[in-house]
Structure 1
């Protein structure tokens, strides 16, 4: 059994046309700030926080989010996930998201910053129904190095599994190991330093909508490298290569704004963090 440095459990249910938290549990280094309802939204936004300020050698974290039928939830982080020197045992984080019928989850977090000798493993499991909807993002960023070197972390390993009606529909196993891979070259980062990812699933996503998003990204990408792929279910995955976090966040907001306006007829809430 793992000795958890931080744990977090949240359950969201729909009550009287409003999504509310019926369970909030956290202990150790993970905590959640009291939920807020932005603008006129009828579902909560939670800000997740690591009270320790960063992830250290051998840390273990666990998070489970349960969104019941017809309920909605927006999650973000209060700041970047900072992975510091990890010489003995890698940092591990396990995140599980269970979505009921017609449930919705948007998780737009701040970057994961890997400093020199950082070793980080994250496993995400998403369990959806055919009517569920998901918008999830990740951004990987190298930390500051006094010598000006870019890829000084030991390893970044992000594993994501998405299930719909208990069937595996996406398996994303991304592993960056600078000492054993030519990270900066073709097939990896191709001269870029920052990597953004996005998974978006909704019953109404089709090829036409994906083509529109692709054209929108083409117009906005500038010097970035962007790739979008249709899933085997109504949804798409997105990869963005950049040299700055800001440019990735900008594109992800554009995509989220498009999805919200087209599929939900609502705007993207500004997630104030200061």
Structure 2
């Protein structure tokens, strides 16, 4: 038996994806598509015409384990518009005893007058996982971004709370290379009342955490009023908390609750309202959401 046959198996499965889209005479086309490992896009879809590409990110393993690292880099050239989503929930599985990190890094680059919608399904953060999920958005003149992240800390339906593990989520938004927003949440799994998992200053005991961010220079104070009217039915339940903030040209919506479906319902309604204001198009839900 050779020494290679005796070698220990690989303990991680890194993957990367590079996409570039450009608005051409034939519409917004995927002009560069390179992947390494089990992470790819088969082809763009055009349910609302050739100028808006819908992209489905495919990761066949369905989740990441200790040592795994996913790197996603998407560039949209001038005046183009892309919507990016996933076919199902992502998973960050229970980590190994060595506490090696399970990571996903997303970089979105938007040239002038371009727009990207980042609308993935929720991410299930298993008890005992050690995750680092980050996203950086690089905006140019008049480019716009609308995106959300929904994290389920623990396995709610299986009554497995996030009592141990580590979760870090970070979002940075730049405009013309100047940092406009840096949002970061770091939580250690715990059942202690004074922990961030249970503190009223943090997650307040809710297992579902959602963050929606939209950037545009035509938001008015009336938009805050409309968004609060949309969120009011959700806030009437003790199972949910919703916060809405505007910082210059950035709208931020935060959700805490007991069910990821409720968060997706709220964020979808907000997306349906904001999309025509931002890109002058009515909301067109990706077909994959209906399967």
Q: TM class by shorter-chain length?
A: over 0.9
Q: State which of 128, 149, 153 in structure 2 corresponds to 1:142.
A: 153
Q: Does 1:266 align with 2:281?
A: yes
Going from structure 1 to structure 2, the CA distance change for 1:81 and 1:229 (only over 3 Å counts) comes to same
Deviations 1:98-148 (A, max 9, x none): 101000000100111011211110121111013011011000103437983
Deviation string, structure 1 residues 128-172 (Cα, Å, up to 9, x no partner):
013011011000103437983411350110111110011100001
Match of 1:37 among 29, 46, 51: 46
Query: Separation in 1 of the partners of 2:109 and 2:278?
Result: 21
- Structure 1 spans left out of the alignment, 5+ residues: none
The gaps in structure 2 that reach 5 residues or longer are: 1-11
Query: Which of 30, 36, 46 matches 1:27?
Result: 36
Counterpart-to-counterpart distance in 2, 1:145 and 1:237:
25
Q: How much has 1:82 moved relative to structure 2? A: 0.4
Cross-structure match for 1:151: 162
Deviation at 1:262, TM superposition (A): 3.4
What is the aligned partner in structure 1 of residue 171 from structure 2?
Answer: 160
Give secondary structure in 1 for the equivalent of 2:63: coil
Question: Which deviates further from its counterpart, 216-225 or 58-67?
Answer: 216-225
Corresponding residue for residue 227 of structure 1: 243
1:60-79 alpha-carbon deviations (Å, 9 max, x no partner): 11111111110110000111
C-alpha spacing 1:165/1:265, structure 2 compared with 1 (3 Å) = closer
Q: Secondary structure at the match of 1:49?
A: coil
- The aligned residue for residue 82 of structure 1 is 91
Select 1:193's aligned residue among 178, 182, 207.
207
Alpha-carbon distance in 2 for matches of 1:209, 1:41:
30
CA contact (8 A) 2:38 2:60 kept: yes
Following superposition of structure 1 onto structure 2, how do residues 196-211 of structure 1 map, counting pairs within 5 Å? 196-211=210-225
Q: State the number of aligned residues.
A: 271
**Contact 1:142–1:153 (Cα < 8 Å) also in 2:** no
- Per the alignment, in what secondary structure is the counterpart of residue 204 of structure 1? coil
Write the mapping of 1:11-160 to structure 2, written as runs, cut at 5 A.
Answer: 11-16=20-25, 18-40=27-49, 42-87=51-96, 88=98, 89-144=100-155, 148-160=159-171
In 2, are the aligned partners of 1:115 and 1:153 still within 8 Å (CA)? no
Select the structure of larger CA radius of gyration.
2
Contact 1:206/1:235 (<8 A) preserved: no
Instruction: Give the TM-score of the pair, scaled to structure 2.
Output: 0.87
Residues 13 and 69 of structure 2 are in contact (CA less than 8 Å); yes or no, is this contact kept in structure 1? yes
Give how far 1:215 is off: 2.6
**Distance (whole Å) between structure 2 residues aligned to residue 264 and residue 146 of structure 1:** 37
Q: Within 1, Cα distance between the matches of 2:49 and 2:158?
A: 48
What is the CA-CA distance between 1:36 and the residue it aligns to? 0.4
User: Is 1:241 the equivalent of 2:252?
Assistant: no
Native 8 Å contact 2:111 2:141 kept in 1:
no
Cα shift at 1:4: 6.8
C-alpha displacement of 1:254 = 0.6
In 2: Cα distance, 1:4 partner to 1:21 partner: 26
Counterpart Cα distance in 1 of 2:244 and 2:227: 9
Aligned to 2:14: 5
Instruction: Quote the residue 1:213 is aligned against.
Output: 227
> What CA RMSD, in Å, does the superposition of the two structures yield over aligned residues?
2.0
Cα pair 1:8 1:62 within 8 Å, conserved: yes
The change in CA–CA distance for 1:145 and 1:131 in structure 2 (over 3 A counts) is: closer
